[in-house]
Amino acid sequence: MSKQAGLLPAIDLTADTPCCPPLAQSRVPAQTAAVLAPAFKALGDPVRLQLMSMIASAKGGEACVCDLTPAFDLTGPTISHHLKTLREAGLVDAERRGTWVYYRARPAILRQLAGLLSVEPAAVA
């Protein structure tokens, strides 16, 4: 870790304003990369990417694990592991209601990730 790392402001991934310019415009600072990498890593698995898509596009903004599990040819504990990974990466929130757990995407973090990957057209001279 660099000597300056402790002097940098904390990165708020829940803010409505971008954490940093798109990576096509400037280099991603090391601290920002360290904060964002776990979310990208979590989405790097095909099952987790599909789960994230199902949760983010669910009617009412949330999805019950009881509706997610049957969509895959995987065991319940395996789906739970993938959902835990998404939760620990900060991509989803979870709420237990009786027997079931309901998952909700965290839109601000998804906007941060999307903003970092956006590619703006080059200005015409």
Domain ranges of the chain: 30-116
Residue 7 has pLDDT above 50, yes or no: no
Look at 2-11, 42-51, 54-63 and tell me which has the smallest mean pLDDT. 2-11
The continuous run of DSSP H or E covering 64 comes out as: strand 62-64
What is the pLDDT at residue 93?
A: 97
Q: How confident is the model at residue 23 (pLDDT cuts 50, 70, 90)?
A: confident
Report pTM: 0.80
What is the pLDDT at residue 40?
A: 95
Contacts for 11 with CB less than 8 Å, ≥ 6 apart: 19, 31, 32, 35
Residue 110 has pLDDT above 80, yes or no: yes
For 30-116, which CATH class?
A: mainly alpha
Facing residues of 96 across strands? 101
CA distances from 49 to 2, 81, 106, 113, 123 (A): 33, 13, 14, 13, 33
